[in-house]
Amino acid sequence: MSRRVSVFRKEHFNAAHRLFNPLWSDEKNKAVFGLCSNEHFHGHNYELIVKVTGPIDPETGYVIDLKKLSDIIKATILDRFDHKNLNLDTKEFAQLNPTAENIAVVIYDLLHSQLGESYELHIRLYETERNFVEYPVQLP
**Dihedral sign of CA atoms 117, 92, 9, 130 in order:** negative
Output the smallest distance, CB 32 to other proteins, in A.
14
Q: Is 11 in the site for other proteins (CB under 8 A)?
A: no
| Stretch touching other proteins by CB under 8 A, among 7-15, 48-56, 92-100, 105-113 | 7-15
- Site for other proteins, residues 39 to 98, rule: CB under 8 A: 40-45, 82-85, 88-89
User: The sheet that has 84-85: what strands, in order across it?
Assistant: 84-85, 4-17, 42-55, 120-126, 132-135
Using only the alpha carbons of the chain, give its radius of gyration: 17
Indicate if 36 belongs to the active site.
yes
Cα–Cα distance measured from residue 60 to residue 34, given in angstroms and rounded to the nearest whole number:
50
Question: Which residue is catalytic, options 17, 117, 127, 134?
Answer: 127
Nearest CB to other proteins, comparing residues 32 and 88: 88
Indicate if 44 belongs to the active site.
no
Beta carbons within 8 Å of 66's beta carbon, 6+ residues apart = 7, 9
Q: Is 14 in the site for other proteins (CB under 8 A)?
A: yes
Helices in 37-81 by DSSP H: which ranges? 66-73, 79-81
Indicate if 59 belongs to the active site.
no
Output the smallest distance, CB 131 to other proteins, in A.
10
Positions in the binding site for other proteins (CB under 8 A): 12, 14-17, 35-36, 38, 40-45, 82-85, 88-89, 128-129
